[in-house]
Amino acid sequence: VLLDNAWNKTVKTQSPQLAWPWAKTYPVGKLYFPKLDESFTILDGTTTEALAFGPGHVEGTSYPGENGNICIAGHRDSFFNNIKDLSFGDIIRIDYVDSQQLFQVDSTIVVEPEETRWLDATGSTQLTLITCYPFYYVGEAPQRYI
């Protein structure tokens, strides 16, 4: 509820709002998975604190609403647990402060953590979702699901 309230205030004021006074992150968008009937507030950054409360915008990549590669990371055992159920052609929506954008799933891949080319800038707008893999793994997972 606090994150939703902060997001709604961010949209209303057109200025980032903290969800609570001591928060070290703030909402930068809202992520919707219509097929899964799920939505999450996207937080700025991928710190331990940010990812404990929701998916985080990966530092150094395009922000939601900007042109380029928008990378969002989330934990496999919480917020991104169900992205494995997305299929080719499924729609993902991101709401920004003043607009929204639709993306379509066009591929998934499992990679090693060192493979960071998925974070590289692109000439066109795309959405890259990242979580640890395998989904059932306990502890520090050995791979990434993109």
Q: Which residues contact 127 (CB under 8 A, 6 or more apart)?
A: 70, 72, 92, 94, 103
Enzyme catalytic residues: 75, 132
Tokens describing residue 141: 């997972």
The residue length of the chain stands at 146
Q: Which residues contact 137 (CB under 8 A, 6 or more apart)?
A: 76
CA distances to 92, 108, 109 from 133, in Å: 20, 12, 10
Q: Which amino acid is at 42?
A: I
Q: How far apart are CA 61 and CA 122, in angstroms?
A: 10
